[in-house]
Amino acid sequence: MSKLGLSADEVLTTTRSVRKRLDFDRPVSREIITECIEIAHQSPSGSNSMRWRWLIIDDQERKDFLAALYRDRFYAYAVESGKPKSEQAGSAVQESGAYLADNMARVPALVIPLLADRMTDSTPVSRQASRWGSILPGVWSFMLALRERGLGSCWTTLHLADEKLVAERLNIPYDQFTQAGLFPVAYTIGTDFKLAKRPPAETFIRWNEWS
């Protein structure tokens, strides 16, 4: 499968959360998604436990179901944030989010990474850190692999407010698995993504103690 030939630094610094530049009309093969997951499986995990699973949805009826849940949660969240629907596109970030919410069903594939464990409010922080610290590198590696192949995605979590309902609809054993997010996957419209504007690292660094 063709690759962009980016350097490691280029992949790391230009993998963006892609919403408005997802190509809804270009099919994405199961083979390329599988290849990106194969790469993701080379990422480190706690005790090499590989407590990750991947549910890939390319059936239109199921995509419609997930997209409707996501859209409802997006606009409910936007209203709670204090902006009526008519003003939710008042910034680039809000406009981008609204665009994805309105078009999620058109994405060629939706990917749900799962932790092979049930996280609850009472789960000890040490266990949560171990579990999330195992799946986060895998999901990020998946996104990097997509980028190198001319595809994009973004990490969304709004559907998790309906996690149990989603588990029931998609036959996920709710007591055994925790959904980590919902990732739209598509080829990108153009591949010329740039570095984002970020404050210098020293703004966020403390040495030896917090002072």
Domain for residue 22, yes or no? yes
Single-letter amino acid code for the residue at 37: I
Domain for residue 200, yes or no? no
Q: Is pLDDT above 50 for 204?
A: yes
Q: How big is the CA angle at 21 (ends 138 and 84), to the nearest 5 degrees?
A: 100
Please report the pLDDT score of residue 92 as a whole number.
Answer: 77
Q: Is pLDDT above 70 for 86?
A: no
Distance, in Å, from the CA atom of 97 to the CA atom of 196, rounded to the nearest integer, reads 17
Please report the pLDDT score of residue 84 as a whole number.
Answer: 47
- Could you tell me whether strands 109-115 and 52-57 are parallel, antiparallel, or unpaired per DSSP bridges? antiparallel
Mean pLDDT of the chain: 91
φ, ψ at 54 (rounded to 5°):
-135, 120
Q: Could you tell me the pTM of the whole model?
A: 0.91
Q: Is pLDDT above 80 for 82?
A: no
Domain for residue 102, yes or no? no
pLDDT digits (tens, 9 = 90+) for 35-78: 999 999 999 877 776 778 999 999 999 999 999 999 999 999 87
**How many CB atoms lie under 10 A from the CB of residue 108?**
20
Domain for residue 77, yes or no? no
Q: Confidence class of residue 190 from pLDDT cuts 50, 70 and 90?
A: very high
Domain hosting 36: range is 10-60+107-193
Distance, in Å, from the CA atom of 138 to the CA atom of 113, rounded to the nearest integer, reads 9
Single-letter amino acid code for the residue at 118: R
Q: DSSP states of 129-166 as a string?
A: HHHHHHHHHHHHHHHHHHHHTTEEB--B-GGGGGHHHH
Q: Is pLDDT above 80 for 80?
A: no
pLDDT digits (tens, 9 = 90+) for 102-149: 999 999 999 999 999 898 889 899 888 888 888 999 999 999 999 999
User: How many domains, in total, are found in the chain?
Assistant: 1
Domain for residue 118, yes or no? yes
Distance, in Å, from the CA atom of 38 to the CA atom of 162, rounded to the nearest integer, reads 29
Q: Return the CATH number at 16.
A: 3.40.109.10
Q: Confidence class of residue 83 from pLDDT cuts 50, 70 and 90?
A: low
Percentage of the chain modeled with pLDDT above 90: 76
Please count the CA atoms within 13 angstroms of the CA of 178 that sit on its side-chain side: 15
Domain for residue 157, yes or no? yes
Point out which residues pair with 97 in neighbouring strands.
none
Please report the pLDDT score of residue 129 as a whole number.
Answer: 86
Q: Is pLDDT above 70 for 88?
A: no
| 142-146, 177-181, 207-211: the lowest-pLDDT one | 207-211
Domain for residue 117, yes or no? yes
Q: Confidence class of residue 1 from pLDDT cuts 50, 70 and 90?
A: low
DSSP state of 33: H
Q: How far is CA 91 from CA 18, 88, 98, 153, in A?
A: 16, 8, 10, 20
- Could you tell me whether strands 109-115 and 183-187 are parallel, antiparallel, or unpaired per DSSP bridges? antiparallel
Category of 6 on φ-ψ map: left (φ > 0), alpha (ψ -120 to 50) or beta: beta
Domain for residue 66, yes or no? no
